[in-house]
Amino acid sequence: MATGVGQPALRREGRAKLTGRALYVDDVAPAGLLHGTTIRSPAPRGTIRGIRFDPSIDWSEYTIVTAADIPGANVVKLITEDQPYLASGEVHHAEEPVALVAHPDPMRAAAARRHITIDIDPLPAVLSMDDADEVFKAYTVRKGDVDAAFADPTLVVVHGEYSTGAQEQLYIEPNGMIAVFDADTGVTVWGSMQCPYYIHGALAALLNVPDTRVRVVQMETGGGFGGKEEYPTVIAGHAALLAWKSGRPVKMIYGRAEDMAATTKRHPSRTRHRTAVTRDGRLVAMDIDFLIDGGAYCTLSPVVLSRGTIHAAGPYDCPNVRVQGRAVRTNVPPNGAFRGFGAPQSIFALERHMDRIAATLDIDPAELRRRNFVHTGDTLAVGQTIREPVDMDGLLSRALELSDYDAKRREFARANPSAAVRKGVGLATFMHGAGFTGSGEVHLSSVVAVEGTPEGSVRVLAASTEIGQGTNTIFSQIAAETLGVDIDDIEIAQPDTAVVPDSGPTVASRTCMVVGKLVESASAGVRRILVDSGYLPASYTRAQFRDACERYVARFGSLRSTSRYSPPPNVQWDDETYTGDAYGTYAWAAYVAEVSVDLRTWQAHVDDFVAVQEVGRVINPTLAQGQIEGGVAQAIGWALYEEVVWREGRMANAQMTNYIMPTSMDLPAIRVQFEEVPYPGGPGGAKGIGELPMDGAAPAIFNAVAHATGLDPRDLPLTPERIMALWNAR
Amino acid sequence: MTATPARIECTINGEPRALEGHPMSRLLDALRAAGLTGTKEGCGEGECGACAVLLDGTLVNSCLTPLAHASRAAITTIEGLAIREQLHAVQQSFLECGGAQCGICTPGMVLAAVDLLRRVPNPTEDDVRAGLAGNLCRCTGYMRIFAAVLDACRRMPATNAER
């Protein structure tokens, strides 16, 4: 079986998942377990007057924790320390945790919710970002002189305002944690998570124990999509508090409704564009205002804003650009990480706007983009000069060809006027930066270790989690390729902070490109040790490697190589001026959507989808294809189906019954093509891939609906109600 | 619930078993309490299909199935498909085609595929789409799953289809 880089190696943990043997957090139950429940604020904002416990219940059976019990700092450690684990004094959003209870019987634990009342004196709540006046963070990206450029009267100016709604990550496994506290050894949590070391750092402060008395172990995790980046820290903290107070193991598993209503979502956005363009379609100035709703606490909003702001001007070469980004505070549950991390929002606005510019100038949308693409040597708005080969023209040509774009545009234009079902085709061209923004990777300073085992195999130690995207498999392939051995010779250590070094969070399309590169270099280190010590000849067989590894470990006790991140040469970023190489590199893409819009039901449906991208070298074609298809599916859901309905600051449709994600009946064939241009900074030439497909599908679909109907949709999701309203307002 | 638990006799994956619980409690909880944790809960309201099992040959969402319905029934869960290390054709195809990512929808999805291939031995892609419409997957966009089911159909001996 071929298992090196570029081969469709089988998912390492696939067999366990397919036979039901893989263990997720709710599949284990330590002896003496209590079940924890969170008591939450019913109001979006107010002062807590008191917590009432129904006297008909025997509360001595329960462990109860409120803010007053917390032994350490009552603040979730993240960017800004503003969010308490348990509110006291004031609540800032509905569903905010106020108290915790635990009981040996899960039914009684859950029932406690109905017998505890939080009395709140309401305060005025900000429930829309238009009404918000508190700013978590603001960024400005500047290039050239935008105001001077707009003064040229020969230019055409196109305005547009675009909005996107919240989106629920909707991993099929709800959040969950188990915590055990022991006075001697400290606290251990097991759970569903993306970032074990985020939790590790946070629990020490919460429980006021040293780092050495905190251990965090990732269980098999049933999807994340960003939704298990930061919120699991809150749940881990809650479970740990109950375990600390009760002295017993505590399990907290969120029900679906609780998970949807209380945890983070994709930031809603509003983007305003003002663009000056020549009559023949050259972008001269882009003035962009990008606003996102952070919710009640800061969480990761500044970083989401940063990525959205940097991606707002797209893969275009424009001499004058100003992007002003703001993340504001409202009284809805905090929004947070979700695949794409701000970029899907700003790219949606830009790519819909590009089609409106094309319509204004009467230029084909593909041709308008061709006249403005960045090329190698051009400088993006943020001040990053593109040094690697980039061929947006080529990607676009391939996507148009595969989708039969030109013929379909002509055919649909001819057939549509008399049809009850209108058809259209639309495109989007875009990029996504891989890894942390700016100096983020330097600050993370991630570490990976690779070690030989006494049996002669090799073990990769990293905190990067397998959440379905294929970490276990690609790390195995990278290590096997580097060492010249078989994938079966490679083991991946379970992410456990007592065992693995901090390779950083599993986010930002960084696991393959950044952490995978560390796996590659640490693996090379193991080989070097064996060769330099004379245990292994320079060229060897798999059997010789195993033998050398086994003998070396027997002789010296251990064989271990660690690798720490250092930035690629020439990558410069200035935090003060917010300019420079925002990302080590970008993945580039051109997507085309074909839609039909039924004028009787007002339903838009995607009939065909073509996704062409350049993500460096593809490590595993099956997994890579699965990443793109899954991301496009999630973006189709965001574009057409997934609507969070708010009522007084609470999610009114916190159920899979009425929050509608795509089913097997709703999706088109998703046709995925890769152009492989090896990137020297990534393992085997690979770049990041996970978030890219979330960026381009929604604007391609909106542009296709505009083509089909002649309407001008600008607000996402594009539900039948919205299409009907637009049609009736023609 | 304080009512006396009932003892429900049934066959699970070919073995006689007794499940304990209130007759109106969820089959899902009884299976998991009996150690069959391959059956997952995704939504608890019959929308996602992660808890699907075969009950007397019919695909059911075990979160909506009262334990009483399991009385004297033959139940197949995900643990019952492979014969020791020999994966069922559907499992093998999911593994090779990339049909499983995070794995949480996988047990229900695989059982739905097995159910489909029993009812429709040579499905078209449209048949597969309709057959899996009750099982939600957030990772794959379903494309690798469709490929896996069609692949399983090709590799499945007639005897396997009857299992």
The band of A724, judged by pLDDT with boundaries at 50, 70 and 90, is very high
Q: Is residue B148 part of a domain?
A: yes
Q: Which of B24, B55, B80 is the last residue of a domain?
A: B80
Asked if residue B93 and residue B76 are part of one domain, the reply reads no
Q: Is residue B153 part of a domain?
A: yes
The band of A85, judged by pLDDT with boundaries at 50, 70 and 90, is very high
Asked if residue B55 and residue B95 are part of one domain, the reply reads no
| CATH (domain of B119) | 1.10.150.120
Contact A664 B129 (CB under 8 A): yes
Contact between A692 and A667 under an 8 Å Cβ cutoff? The reply is: no
Contact between A639 and A631 under an 8 Å Cβ cutoff? The reply is: no
Chain A contacts of B106, Cβ < 8 Å? 17-18
Contact between A203 and A189 under an 8 Å Cβ cutoff? The reply is: yes
Distance CA A132, CA B28 (A): 45
Q: Is residue B147 part of a domain?
A: yes
Q: How many whole angstroms from its chain centre is CA B113?
A: 9
Closest CB from A8, A18, A656 relative to B106: A18
Asked if residue B98 and residue B63 are part of one domain, the reply reads no
Residue span of the structural domain in which B130 resides: 89-162
Contact A10 B95 (CB under 8 A): yes
The band of A652, judged by pLDDT with boundaries at 50, 70 and 90, is very high
From residue A75, alpha-carbon distances to A78, A82, B76 in Å are: 9, 7, 47
| A77-81 long-range Cβ contacts below 8 angstroms, 24+ apart | A77/A201, A77/A202, A77/A205, A77/A206, A77/A233, A78/A198, A78/A202, A78/A230, A78/A233, A78/A298, A78/A299, A78/A300, A79/A298, A79/A299, A79/A300, A79/A302, A79/A303, A80/A136, A80/A297, A80/A298, A80/A302
Q: Give the per-residue pLDDT at B160.
A: 47
Distance CA A587, CA A572 (A): 19
Q: Per-residue pLDDT tens for B93-104?
A: 999 999 999 999
Q: Which of B43, B58, B80 is the last residue of a domain?
A: B80
CA neighbor of A265 nearest in space, from A351, A309, A330? A330
Q: Per-residue pLDDT tens for B134-148?
A: 999 999 999 999 999
For chain A, what is the mean pLDDT? 97
Q: Per-residue pLDDT tens for B2-34?
A: 567 899 999 999 999 999 999 999 999 999 999
pLDDT over threshold 60, residue A1: no
Asked if residue B67 and residue B111 are part of one domain, the reply reads no
CA neighbor of A611 nearest in space, from A340, A341, A402? A402
Contact B47 A469 (CB under 8 A): no
pLDDT over threshold 70, residue A461: yes
Closest chain A residue to the Cα of B93, Cα to Cα: A18
Element (H, E) at A425: strand A421-434
Chosen for mutation from A12, A13, A17 (greatest number of chain B CBs closer than 10 Å) is A17
Alpha-carbon gap: B150 to the closest alpha carbon of chain A (Å): 14
Contact B38 A20 (CB under 8 A): yes
Cβ-in-10-Å burial (0-12, 13-18, 19+) of A628 comes to buried
Contact A657 B47 (CB under 8 A): yes
Question: If you average pLDDT over residues A622-650, what whole number do you get?
Answer: 98
Contact B39 A633 (CB under 8 A): no
The band of B162, judged by pLDDT with boundaries at 50, 70 and 90, is very low
Contact between A11 and B98 under an 8 Å Cβ cutoff? The reply is: yes
Enter the tokens of residue A617: 């070298």
Contact B95 A468 (CB under 8 A): no
Closest CB from A15, A20, A223 relative to B77: A20
Contact A14 B78 (CB under 8 A): no
Q: How many separate domains does chain B show?
A: 2
Closest chain A residue to the Cα of B131, Cα to Cα: A664
Question: If you average pLDDT over residues A15-24, what whole number do you get?
Answer: 98
If you ran DSSP here, which 8-state letter would residue B118 be given? H
Alpha-carbon gap: A323 to the closest alpha carbon of chain B (Å): 33
Asked if residue B64 and residue B104 are part of one domain, the reply reads no
Q: Is residue B1 part of a domain?
A: no
pLDDT over threshold 60, residue A450: yes
Chain B contacts of A169, Cβ < 8 Å? 138
Chosen for mutation from B139, B142, B149 (greatest number of chain A CBs closer than 10 Å) is B139
Distance CA A228, CA A243 (A): 21
Chosen for mutation from B101, B132, B144, B150 (greatest number of chain A CBs closer than 10 Å) is B101
Closest CB from B38, B45, B138 relative to A223: B138
Asked if residue B101 and residue B73 are part of one domain, the reply reads no
Q: Is residue B42 part of a domain?
A: yes
Contact A468 B42 (CB under 8 A): no
Chain A contacts of B86, Cβ < 8 Å? none
Closest chain B residue to the Cα of A174, Cα to Cα: B42
Asked if residue B96 and residue B45 are part of one domain, the reply reads no
pLDDT over threshold 50, residue A132: yes
Asked if residue B127 and residue B63 are part of one domain, the reply reads no
Percent of chain A surpassing pLDDT 70: 100
Q: Helix, strand or coil for residue A478?
A: helix
- Terminus-to-terminus CA distance in chain A, angstroms? 59
If you ran DSSP here, which 8-state letter would residue A207 be given? H
Asked if residue B74 and residue B35 are part of one domain, the reply reads yes
The band of A468, judged by pLDDT with boundaries at 50, 70 and 90, is very high
Asked if residue B19 and residue B66 are part of one domain, the reply reads yes
pLDDT over threshold 90, residue A92: yes
| CATH (domain of B36) | 3.10.20.30
Question: If you average pLDDT over residues A157-173, what whole number do you get?
Answer: 98
Question: If you average pLDDT over residues A30-38, what whole number do you get?
Answer: 98
Size of interface A-B (CB pairs under 8 A): 168
Chain A contacts of B129, Cβ < 8 Å? 664-665
Question: Is the ipTM reported for this complex over the cut 0.90?
Answer: yes
Q: Give the per-residue pLDDT at B157.
A: 67
Asked if residue B54 and residue B120 are part of one domain, the reply reads no
Chosen for mutation from A108, A172, A619 (greatest number of chain B CBs closer than 10 Å) is A172
pLDDT over threshold 90, residue A682: yes
* Bridge partners of residue A53, in order along the sequence: A116
Chain B contacts of A255, Cβ < 8 Å? 44
Q: Which domains are delineated in chain A?
A: 14-22+438-564 (3.30.365.10), 32-124+171-262 (3.30.365.10), 126-167+265-380 (3.30.365.10), 389-434+585-730 (3.30.365.10)
What sections of A505-541 are H helices per DSSP? 516-532
Q: Which of B29, B54, B80 is the last residue of a domain?
A: B80
Q: Helix, strand or coil for residue A492?
A: strand
Asked if residue B131 and residue B65 are part of one domain, the reply reads no
Phi, psi angle pair for A57, to nearest 5°: -100, 140
Distance CA B117, CA A287 (A): 56
